[in-house]
């Protein structure tokens, strides 16, 4: 069974490629390296001892996608490709709508053209906006507070409409919470180009001396210590959720929506404390104003994924911090 993985050299994509290969799937990876590095391809092969096809292409490039589908018998697609920084999306909304929404449309049209109607979509907890309460279940109202989240919500709506029009499709919408951590080998992890937008790679680069200080954006939220609370999930647990989702959609038709989180919220200051305790690294941090588009508290009720997919996050915050630091420590340049 051949699975096309778009954005497969990115952070979540690369770890999911490893787990797909370890589970016995054949994969074809497509990426344009906009927020990843070419060496990830060999690192995935080194971890798994398996080879796979790679296409350097942008999902906005219809001709490249059509050639990829024409050359390969594809059974399903796991779609990660997309820009993902909340702050950047507020500053550059047109870029995000064009890349994420238009690119996804080209992909879905190409899938339909070649009769490939099995899809796992990388969505986000940002589709819940600023929730009225926590923990969040899949039936909560949907309304994002930033353009990044809006692109995910638009794509979800497109996919629901697509299924209404053609019920031979089978689609899993996976709403991620906050992935951190890295593969235990230290070969792959979260290594964004430029200044990180997410908390953990910023923490690890400050700990490594690559950045001077960690900015904590907002200390006046209505939370236990005033800093934002999020549901941090180990990237390996998240990746394994994609295997379970594939197993769900292959024999079924429908649109299936799942939260992938731990069900536990941690504040920014709690994550900093956990990182310092797990690694022995003292962090230099300071308070900064809130960022536009951020919310106070967001964590999952992951019970539906456990009931229907047999999936549950098992790795704790200590392991997330330790694995993140080991990856950075082994790859300091």
Active-site residue list: 148
Residues 316, 246 contacting (CB under 8 angstroms)? no
Under DSSP, is residue 83 helix (H, G, I), strand (E, B) or coil? Answer: coil
Separation between Cα atoms, residue 140 and residue 176, nearest integer Å: 15
Angle separating helix axes 11-22 and 39-48, nearest 10 degrees: 30
Cα atoms in the 13 Å half-sphere on the side-chain side of 156: 24
Cα atoms in the 13 Å half-sphere on the side-chain side of 76: 24
Q: Bridge partners of 30?
A: 6, 55
How wide is the angle at C-alpha 49 spanned by C-alphas 44 and 53, nearest 5°?
A: 60
Tally Cβ neighbours within 10 Å of residue 123: 24
How wide is the angle at C-alpha 185 spanned by C-alphas 181 and 189, nearest 5°?
A: 35
Tally Cβ neighbours within 10 Å of residue 31: 27
- The pairing of beta strand 229-230 with beta strand 266-267: antiparallel
């Amino acid at each position: 069974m051949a699975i096309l993985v778009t954005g497969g050299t990115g952070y979540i994509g690369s770890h999911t490629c490893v787990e797909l290969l370890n589970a016995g799937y054949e994969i074809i990876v497509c990426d344009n390296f906009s927020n990843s590095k070419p060496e990830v391809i060999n690192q995935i092969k080194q971890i798994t001892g398996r080879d796979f096809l790679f296409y350097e292409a942008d999902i906005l490039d219809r001709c490249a996608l059509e050639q990829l589908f024409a050359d390969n018998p594809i059974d399903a697609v796991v779609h990660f490709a997309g820009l993902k920084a909340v702050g950047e999306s507020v500053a550059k909304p047109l870029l995000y709508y064009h890349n994420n929404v238009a690119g996804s449309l080209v992909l879905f049209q190409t899938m339909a053209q070649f009769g490939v109607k099995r899809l796992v979509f990388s969505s986000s907890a940002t589709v819940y906006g600023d929730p009225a309460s926590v923990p969040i279940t899949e039936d909560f109202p949907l309304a994002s507070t930033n353009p990044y989240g809006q692109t995910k919500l638009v794509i979800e709506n497109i996919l629901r409409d697509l299924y209404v029009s053609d019920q031979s499709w089978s689609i899993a919408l996976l709403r991620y919470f906050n992935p951190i951590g890295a593969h235990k080998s230290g070969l792959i992890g979260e290594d964004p180009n430029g200044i990180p937008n997410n908390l953990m790679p910023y923490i690890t680069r400050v700990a490594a001396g690559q950045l001077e200080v960690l900015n904590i954006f907002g200390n006046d939220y209505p939370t236990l210590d005033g800093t934002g609370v999020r549901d941090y999930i180990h990237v390996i647990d998240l990746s394994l959720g994609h295997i379970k989702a594939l197993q769900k959609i292959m024999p079924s038709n429908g649109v299936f929506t799942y939260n992938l989180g731990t069900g536990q919220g941690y504040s920014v200051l709690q994550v900093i404390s956990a990182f310092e305790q797990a690694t022995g690294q003292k962090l230099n941090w300071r308070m900064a104003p809130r960022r536009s588009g951020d919310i106070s508290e967001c964590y999952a009720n992951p019970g539906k994924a456990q009931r229907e997919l047999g999936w549950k996050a098992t790795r704790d915050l200590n392991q997330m911090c330790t694995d993140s630091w080991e990856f950075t420590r082994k790859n300091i340049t």
